């Protein structure tokens, strides 16, 4: 690994490490997931509060909850005497209360794990039982786990080849000491800030007693592990599981690192999904053999083969005829999101000829982009769907050169209801040439024509409102066309990046869709719509807006005081339906408890100020604690219900918002409870 390389995310120099990521990017990846999901489907339990644990661990200063999973909860803590950070893992009561002789098995396992001293294994400093709680005190690893890195897309082959040897080295060390991990998965492979790979959570391990005659630490016949990563024998013959189950799980992880997908069902070799050295196919497929006797027998063997491939990249043999035949022809490429709805991908981009038929590919997804596209939202040369955009567009709402649908806009529009375009034919037709029942345009062939027949007079004020100015008539179609063109180019970029083996992350894939949807909403909805809060154009309208601001400001100050006073049930009574689901009383309590913990006692609650932006009115209530000061922003909709809650810097405003003057102090305007 080149020690002088640059981080591919931020461009900062990289000191070293297998992933070529700087410490800041690794730490950021670790902070992106606030909780660790439980594996294995076990029922989650409520983690003890820090205040409850503090008396049980007088030697530890427990700082925060890091996460929870199927085998316990983990807290960040500091050892007072040694002044070092540690991880405190507390086992769930359900796993400890019902098992016979659990205390004996726990002590045996803890002693065995404490003997594991390896730079790629998270160390165990202490263990025991206090107040009915079994716990481990472990090494604290500041960084990210492999799952958090994979969430942004698959790793580059050289990154995966740098991670695997360190995992193999740690597994071989544990296997030599008679310990099988039995739950190797991306969540248990950590990358610290210096780039060192560490294996965590040996809590599911089974101690192999060799000649001691002692009882096994895990009950015989118990199935442990995570679905999709478990070796077949962990499900079929759990009592006969040995160290080769870890090698199978490592094969699953390696396949996922290389392709970004799990090897489910009849899966193809990695080289058929992405462009990698075909010698890796043999390594992955041998590790994933169903029969343990046909797999690698030692983790060190996997390490040797992977290191050999990494050291000799130029000596890769030519691909087999089957692999070569399956490669897409020049120009063919596609991107398919991993997330699906009823088996249909949320996003599918496809361009060029299909590999098997030679015909043009068709993109099929909730959002489909390509030469041919079919989906709820379809964009392409030929597009069909609920919302279709393209050269030829067919759908309920069709927009394109030739548009056919219930509502159609285009160069030539054919619609059952409303057609709008250079040439338009429909029940209601508007265009340079219009044919239909009701019509308006330069040349019309309609039963009733606007401006001539009174039956079509309803079109006149509608058209005047739509085309308020010549600039509106020209700029809106131009902006919409530019947006659609940009989305098509972006879809082609996604597909070509994937074909080149550099699959973009989910955030990169969806960000332009969100931006385009927002822009289209602004063009088609916000522009023709009026404000719900009357502008201050006249005294009457200004008074109405100010009175609304006074009422909402009083509500906002009452809301904040209720929260600071602990009456959260009353506080959430004014939430709208969406806000009530997103922020129930329990979550609101946690939010203000965090604010109180960070700021200390409340010193002052200031006078609220209000501003309007579109159909919403925002009220800012300044609150000053002993150690902190923020503005609590409460957003009200036109019905006077809370639709948003934000914590912002003091004095912050929304760009483009209009201040609303207060007619009276909020305390006088606050409605009676």
Q: How much of the chain exceeds pLDDT 90, in percent?
A: 11
pLDDT for res 1: 40
C-alpha–C-alpha distance, residues 516 and 56, integer Å: 54
Range with the largest mean pLDDT of 289-298, 477-486, 592-601: 289-298
Residue 300 has pLDDT above 90, yes or no: yes
Answer with the one of 110, 140, 170 that is the final residue of a domain: 140
Q: What is the CATH number of the domain that holds 74?
A: 3.30.200.20
Same domain, 131 and 157: no
Mean pLDDT of 326-336: 56
b/e burial code for range 367-403 (CB count within 10 A of at least 16 → b): bbbbbbbbbbbbbbbbbbbebbbbebbbbebbbbebb
DSSP symbols for 168-188: HHHHHHHHHTTEE----SGGG
Same domain, 551 and 638: yes
pLDDT for res 193: 78
C-alpha–C-alpha distance, residues 246 and 230, integer Å: 8
Same domain, 115 and 232: no
DSSP symbols for 236-301: H-GGG--THHHHHHHHHHHHHHHHSS---SSPPPHHHHS---THHHHHHHHHT-SSGGGS-SSHHH
The closest of 332, 412, 336 to 371, measured between CA atoms, is 332
b/e burial code for range 576-608 (CB count within 10 A of at least 16 → b): beebeeebebeebbeebeebeeebeebeeeeeb
pLDDT for res 192: 84
Same domain, 323 and 337: no
Tokens (6 digits) for 286? 């041998």
Residue 531 located in a structural domain: no
Q: What is the CATH number of the domain that holds 301?
A: 1.10.510.10
Q: Strand pairing partners for 617? A: 612, 636
Same domain, 377 and 317: no
C-alpha–C-alpha distance, residues 607 and 153, integer Å: 47
DSSP letter (8 states) at residue 583: S
C-alpha–C-alpha distance, residues 113 and 107, integer Å: 10
C-alpha–C-alpha distance, residues 276 and 97, integer Å: 49
Number of neighbouring beta carbons within 10 Å of residue 160 = 25
Pairing of strands 362-449, 347-351: parallel
Same domain, 312 and 414: no
Same domain, 191 and 130: no
C-alpha–C-alpha distance, residues 413 and 10, integer Å: 48
Q: In the chain, count H helices and then E strands.
A: 20, 21
Mean pLDDT of 332-353: 79
Same domain, 427 and 443: yes
Residue 270 has pLDDT above 50, yes or no: yes
Task: Map tokens 């809060």 to a residue.
Answer: 533
Residue 520 has pLDDT above 70, yes or no: no
Same domain, 441 and 345: yes
Sign of the four-CA dihedral 571, 573, 574, 576: positive
Residues 6+ apart with CB under 8 A from 115: 177
* Cβ atoms 647, 630 nearer than 8 A: yes
Residue 563 has pLDDT above 50, yes or no: yes
Same domain, 579 and 507: no
Q: How much of the chain exceeds pLDDT 70, in percent?
A: 66
pLDDT in tens, 158-178: 888 889 999 999 999 999 988
Residues 6+ apart with CB under 8 A from 226: 39, 40, 183, 185
Residue 150 located in a structural domain: yes
* Cβ atoms 328, 280 nearer than 8 A: no
pLDDT for res 502: 59
SS (H, E, C) 386-452: EEEEEEEEEEEEEEEEEEEEEEEEEEEEEEEEEEEEEEEEEEEEEEEEEEEEEEEEEEEEEEEECCC
* Cβ atoms 63, 88 nearer than 8 A: no
Tokens (6 digits) for 467? 């085309």
pLDDT for res 194: 79
pLDDT for res 329: 41
Residue 18 located in a structural domain: no
Task: State which H helix or E strand residue 10 sits in.
Answer: none
pLDDT in tens, 176-210: 988 888 889 988 898 887 778 998 876 554 433 33
Q: Where are the alpha helices (DSSP H) in 3-156?
A: 23-31, 50-53, 93-97, 102-114, 146-150
Strand locations in 205-248, DSSP E? Answer: 206-207
SS (H, E, C) 458-472: CHHHHHHHHCCCHHH
* Cβ atoms 75, 171 nearer than 8 A: no
Number of neighbouring beta carbons within 10 Å of residue 537 = 9
3 state SS of 341: strand
Residue 25 located in a structural domain: no
Same domain, 384 and 505: yes
In the chain, what's the furthest Cα-to-Cα distance?
Answer: 103
The closest of 285, 247, 283, 279 to 266, measured between CA atoms, is 285
Residue 253 has pLDDT above 90, yes or no: yes
C-alpha–C-alpha distance, residues 627 and 2, integer Å: 45
Comparison of pLDDT for 541 and 569, the residue scoring more: 569
Answer with the one of 88, 107, 140 that is the final residue of a domain: 140
| Whole-Å CA distances, 673 to 529, 567, 632, 670 | 35, 13, 21, 9
Q: Which domain holds residue 47?
A: 33-140
Residue 640 located in a structural domain: yes
Edge-to-edge strand list for the sheet holding 347-351: 333-336, 347-351, 362-449
Residue 5 located in a structural domain: no
DSSP letter (8 states) at residue 526: I
CA atoms within 13 A on the CB side of 639: 7
Residue 320 has pLDDT above 60, yes or no: no
Q: What is the CA radius of gyration of the chain?
A: 32
Answer with the one of 114, 140, 166 that is the final residue of a domain: 140
| Whole-Å CA distances, 553 to 561, 569, 612, 620, 664 | 12, 20, 12, 8, 10
3 state SS of 648: strand
Residue 84 has pLDDT above 80, yes or no: yes
Number of domains in the chain: 4
Residue 463 located in a structural domain: yes
Mean pLDDT of 120-149: 87
Residue 232 located in a structural domain: yes
Q: Mean pLDDT across the chain, nearest whole number?
A: 74
Residue 40 has pLDDT above 50, yes or no: no
Confidence of residue 515 (pLDDT cuts 50, 70, 90): low
Task: State which H helix or E strand residue 653 sits in.
Answer: none
Residue 235 has pLDDT above 80, yes or no: yes
SS (H, E, C) 355-393: CCCCCECEEEEEEEEEEEEEEEEEEEEEEEEEEEEEEEE
* Cβ atoms 288, 251 nearer than 8 A: yes
Range with the largest mean pLDDT of 249-253, 598-602, 625-629: 249-253
CA dihedral 419, 425, 430, 436 (to 10 degrees): -120
Comparison of pLDDT for 430 and 490, the residue scoring more: 430
The closest of 338, 373, 341, 357 to 491, measured between CA atoms, is 373
**Percent helix, strand and coil across the chain, each rounded to 5?**
35, 30, 35
pLDDT for res 539: 47
pLDDT for res 359: 74
Mean pLDDT of 325-350: 69
226 alpha-carbon distance from chain centroid = 21
Same domain, 566 and 491: no
């Amino acid at each position: 690994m080149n020690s002088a390389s640059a981080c591919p995310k931020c461009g900062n120099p990289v000191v070293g490490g297998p992933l070529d990521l700087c410490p800041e990017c690794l730490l950021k990846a670790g902070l992106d997931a606030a909780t660790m999901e439980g594996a294995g489907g076990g029922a989650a339990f409520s983690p003890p509060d820090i205040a409850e644990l503090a008396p049980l661990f007088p030697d530890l200063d427990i700082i925060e909850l890091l996460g929870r999973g199927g085998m316990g909860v983990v807290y960040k803590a500091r050892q007072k005497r040694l002044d070092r950070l540690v991880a405190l893992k507390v086992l769930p009561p359900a796993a400890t209360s019902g098992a016979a002789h659990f205390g004996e098995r726990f002590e045996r396992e803890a002693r065995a794990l404490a003997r594991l001293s390896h730079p790629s294994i998270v160390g165990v400093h202490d263990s025991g039982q206090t107040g009915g709680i079994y716990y481990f005190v472990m090494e604290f690893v500041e960084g990210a786990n492999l799952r958090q890195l994979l969430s942004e897309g698959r790793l580059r082959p050289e990154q995966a080849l740098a991670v695997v040897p360190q995992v193999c080295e740690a597994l071989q060390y544990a296997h030599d000491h008679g310990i099988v991990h039995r739950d190797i998965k991306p969540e248990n492979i950590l990358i610290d800030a210096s780039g060192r790979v560490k294996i965590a959570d040996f809590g599911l391990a089974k101690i192999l007693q060799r000649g001691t005659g002692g009882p096994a630490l895990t009950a015989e016949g118990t199935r442990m592990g995570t679905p999709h990563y478990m070796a077949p024998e962990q499900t079929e013959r759990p009592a006969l599981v040995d160290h080769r189950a870890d090698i199978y799980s490592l094969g699953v992880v390696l396949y996922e690192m290389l392709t970004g997908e799990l090897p489910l069902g009849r899966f193809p070799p990695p080289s058929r999904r992405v462009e990698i050295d075909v010698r890796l196919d043999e390594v992955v497929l041998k590790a994933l053999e169903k029969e343990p006797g046909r797999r690698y027998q030692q983790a060190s063997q996997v390490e040797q083969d992977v290191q050999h491939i990494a050291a000799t990249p130029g000596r890769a043999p030519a691909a087999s005829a089957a692999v070569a035949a399956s490669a897409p022809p020049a120009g063919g490429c596609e991107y398919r999101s991993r997330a699906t709805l009823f088996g249909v991908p949320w996003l599918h981009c496809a361009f060029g000829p299909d590999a098997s038929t030679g015909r043009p590919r068709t993109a099929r997804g909730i959002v489909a982009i390509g030469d041919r596209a079919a989906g709820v939202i379809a964009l392409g040369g030929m597009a069909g769907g609920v919302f279709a955009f393209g050269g030829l567009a067919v759908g309920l709402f069709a927009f394109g050169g030739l548009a056919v649908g219930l509502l159609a806009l285009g160069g030539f529009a054919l619609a059952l209801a409303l057609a709008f375009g250079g040439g338009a034919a429909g029940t209601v037709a508007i265009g340079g040439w219009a044919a239909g029942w009701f019509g308006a345009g330069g040349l019309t062939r309609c039963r009733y024509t606007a401006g001539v027949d009174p039956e079509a007079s309803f079109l006149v004020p509608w058209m005047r409102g739509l085309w308020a100015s010549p600039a509106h008539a020209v700029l809106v179609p131009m902006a919409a066309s530019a947006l659609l063109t940009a989305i098509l180019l972006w879809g082609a970029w996604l597909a070509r990046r994937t074909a080149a083996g550099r699959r973009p992350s989910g955030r990169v894939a969806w960000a332009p869709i969100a931006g385009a949807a927002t822009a289209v909403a602004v063009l088609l909805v916000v522009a023709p719509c009026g404000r719900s809060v009357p502008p201050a154009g006249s005294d009457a309208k200004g008074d109405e807006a100010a009175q609304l601001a006074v009422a909402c400001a009083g509500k906002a100050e009452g809301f904040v005081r209720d929260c600071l006073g602990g009456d959260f049930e009353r506080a959430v009574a004014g939430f709208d339906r969406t806000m009530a689901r997103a922020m129930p009383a329990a979550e609101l309590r946690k939010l203000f408890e965090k604010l109180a913990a960070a700021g200390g006692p409340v010193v002052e609650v200031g006078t609220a100020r209000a501003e309007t932006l579109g159909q919403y009115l925002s009220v800012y209530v300044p609150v000053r604690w002993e150690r902190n000061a923020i503005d609590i922003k409460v957003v009200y909709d036109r019905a006077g219900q809370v639709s948003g809650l934000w914590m912002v810097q003091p004095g912050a405003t929304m760009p483009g918002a209009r201040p609303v003057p207060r007619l009276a102090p909020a305390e006088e305007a606050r409605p009676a409870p």
